[in-house]
Amino acid sequence: MPDAPPRAVLSPAFRLVFRLEIANRPGMFAHVATVVGERGCSLGAIDLVEATPAVHVRDVTVDCPDEAIGAQLQDDLRRIDGVRVRNVSDRAFLMHLGGKIETKGRVSVRTRDDLSLVYTPGVARISRAIAEDPDKVWRLTIRQNSVAVVTDGSAVLGLGNIGPEAALPVMEGKALLFADLAAITAFPLCLATHDPDEIVRTVENVAPVFGGINLEDIAAPACFVVERKLRERLDIPVFHDDQHGTAIVVLAGLRNAAAVVARELADLRIVIAGAGAAGIATARLLRLAGVRDIMLCDRHGIVHGKRDDLNEEKRDVVRVLGTERRGSLEDALAGANVFIGLSGPRILSRGALRTMGRPRIVFALANPDPEIDPLDAAPDVDVLATGRSDYPNQVNNVLAFPGVFRGLLDARARGVSAEVELAAAKALAATVPPQVRSAEYILPSVFDRDVVPAVAKAVAAATRDAGLARKTTTAEV
């Protein structure tokens, strides 16, 4: 029996507000509601704006499965006799009008005395102090609490190479999350180059402003080159979130999933679909966490050392994993306990899923369309996670990067290590108390305000233990 087609899922990302002028006749709004339902959309708030004997003007909020269906619904509504579409507002676009972030001062300038302290002549004393002792930059400037969010726009979400301008709204969103969740000042740097060496030079030149560098949405293999060179050249942490943030959250979720099925993490047989930045980093971190049997697959099947089409990063991870088996993704899955999808939609069939061993854990993380429809997979698995917010167990990098950078900045880190990542994953997993942990609760909510402090504390401690901290105690100013 073939797999069922993917189901449309409603999302507030495609929430439209229709201002409709509806003839004041019995049954008219029911007609509107029927048309909305026939398009697979869902009615939300219905607000009366204006009423006359002839017409009612209403703002009708509708959640749609996607942008195309929203446009089709607009055409449907225009064709209803007795309905006029006055206006359509897209909530996502309204949220981004004027951008989502701004810079604000931490002190007020209300008098001439204030001006003389924050700027000339008083600021000259601060600059002179830093020139004489460069370490004072960490106490006397924004650097102690600032992160650059750097991209070249080459691998943005599921959109691909859309360029730096189109990447800016995503990087603004990242900066907003840094501020809201971890009280970190972050600024987007969207670079008009795909040359890894140019990216490295640019970041190297702006680095004196920042306490950390968050690389984002840079395509493989350039992302590996950029991160490696920046880590060699800079004395601040450089963290490619698509690699390490993903790996941390996956490891945290898998720790708790293993506990739910009463198995040791090290004893699980794991298959990772997707050998890009996230897949390779996840494989490496799981190996460091003690997992012995990991097979990494790309579109050509199992990644093994005898293949002649591997780039440097794939060859290196094969050496780490020691993979000798050959075959397809389906071959790798037979008897495996864990499937981790970091690839693309609908690559995991129900037939292949059912060849896996028990316990059976599936992390289908492609977004917005996962590797298998969660509703199809659910009856055949013991624990299921996705990258989506409309199912339990959302694997989302926002669970990692705010706390990781908060901890790195608190320690005034010179760098970041694998031990720090392991500590972050362990702390994140521990935010789900054992007494309430279950198949549908292996990761906390992204809105759980206990997550960032817990991860930050563990990261700061691990940074100190690794000898990477400038600030060696929490009491140090």
Q: Residue 14: its pLDDT value, please?
A: 86
Contact 327, 257 (CB under 8 A): no
- % of the chain exceeding 90 in pLDDT: 82
Please compute the mean of the pLDDT values over residues 91-98 and round it to a whole number.
84
pLDDT (average), residues 413-435: 97
Summarised one tens digit per residue, pLDDT across range 40-57 is 999 988 998 998 999 999
pLDDT (0 to 100) of residue 475: 55
Residues 6+ apart with CB under 8 A from 221: 311, 312, 313
Position 5 pLDDT exceeds 70: no
Q: 324 pLDDT band (50/70/90 cuts)?
A: confident
Distances (CA, A) of 178 to 46, 140, 219, 399: 34, 21, 22, 11
Cα 331 from chain centroid (whole Å):
30
Q: What is the pLDDT of residues 372-386, one digit of tens each?
A: 999 999 999 999 999
For residue 357, pLDDT beyond 70:
yes
Query: What does the pLDDT look like over 249-272, one tens digit per residue?
Result: 999 999 999 999 999 999 999 999
3-state helix, strand, coil in the chain (%, to 5): 45, 20, 40
Contact 66, 15 (CB under 8 A): no
Question: Using the 8-state DSSP alphabet, how is residue 103 labeled?
Answer: -
Which has the closest alpha carbon to 290: 254, 240, 325? Answer: 254
Candidate list 100, 104, 119, 306, residue with the active-site label = 119
Residue 369 has pLDDT above 70, yes or no: yes
- The pLDDT value given to residue 8: 54
Q: In the prediction, which pLDDT does 149 show? A: 98
Query: Is 119 marked active-site?
Result: yes
| Closest alpha carbon to 64 in 30, 13, 7 | 13
pLDDT at 300: 94
Find the helix packing angle between 28-38 and 67-78, rounded to 10°: 150
Which residues, 6 or more positions from 38, have their beta carbon under 8 angstroms from its beta carbon? 76
Task: Give the percent of the chain with pLDDT over 70.
Answer: 97
186 within 8 A of 174, measured Cβ to Cβ: yes
CA distances, 307 to each of 224, 277, 284, 324, 434 (Å): 21, 19, 19, 10, 43
Average pLDDT of the residues in 447-463: 96
Q: What is the mean pLDDT of residues 18-35?
A: 92
SS3 of 238, please? strand
Nearby residues of 318 by Cβ (< 8 Å), 6 or more positions away: 296, 303, 304, 305, 310
- pLDDT at position 1, please? 41
Question: For all residues of the chain together, what is the average pLDDT?
Answer: 93
**What pLDDT, on the 0 to 100 scale, is given for residue 3?**
52
DSSP 432: S
SS3 450: coil
> Do residues 277 and 242 touch, judged by C-beta distance below 8 A?
yes
**Using CA atoms, how far apart are residues 280 and 318, in angstroms rounded to an integer?**
10
- Answer yes or no: is pLDDT of 2 > 50: no
pLDDT score of 104: 86
**For 196-236, what is each residue's pLDDT tens digit?**
999 999 999 999 999 999 999 999 899 999 999 999 999 99
Give all domains of the chain, ordered by start, each with its CATH number.
11-96 (3.30.70.260), 111-140 (no CATH), 145-236 (3.40.50.10380), 247-477 (3.40.50.720)
Which spans in 207-243 are helix H? 222-233
List residues bridging with 386 in a β-sheet: 364, 394
Q: 273: closest CA among 225, 173, 341, 322?
A: 341
pLDDT for 180 beyond 90? yes
Report whether 150 contacts 137 (CB < 8 A): no
pLDDT at 13: 76
Q: What is the DSSP letter of 260?
A: H
What tens digit of pLDDT does each residue of 131-141 get? 999 999 999 99
388-392 mean pLDDT: 83
What is the token pair recorded at 11?
A: 């999302």
Query: 302 pairs with which residues across the strands?
Result: 297
Between 10 and 163, whose confidence is greater?
A: 163
Could you tell me if 172 and 165 are in contact, meaning their C-beta atoms sit under 8 angstroms apart?
Answer: no
Residue 471: its pLDDT value, please? 80
What six digits make up the tokens of 417? 């290590």
End-to-end Cα, the chain, rounded Å: 65
Which position among 100, 104, 136, 174 bears the catalytic label?
A: 174
Q: What is the DSSP string of 331-376?
A: HHHTT-SEEEE-S-TT-S-HHHHTTS-SS-EEEE--SSS-SS-HHH
pLDDT tens for each residue of 104-162? 888 999 999 999 999 999 999 999 999 999 999 999 999 999 999 999 999 998 788 99
pLDDT band for 66, please (50, 70, 90 cuts).
confident
Q: What is the pLDDT of residue 234?
A: 98
Distance CA 348, CA 188 (A): 36
Which residues, at least 6 apart from 196, have a Cβ–Cβ distance to it below 8 Å? 222, 225, 226, 229
439 vs 383: CA distance, rounded Å: 5
Q: Residue 188 above 80 pLDDT?
A: yes
Phi, psi of 409 (to 5 degrees): -70, -40
Predicted confidence band of residue 404 (pLDDT cuts 50, 70, 90) = very high
The amino acid occupying position 78 is R
Model confidence band, residue 65 (pLDDT cutoffs 50, 70, 90)? confident
Give the strand pairing for 83-90 and 146-151. Answer: unpaired
- Strand spans (E) along 65-106: 83-90
| DSSP conformation letters of 283-318 | HHHHHHTT--EEEEEETTEE--TT-SS--HHHHHHH
Region 403-425 average pLDDT: 97
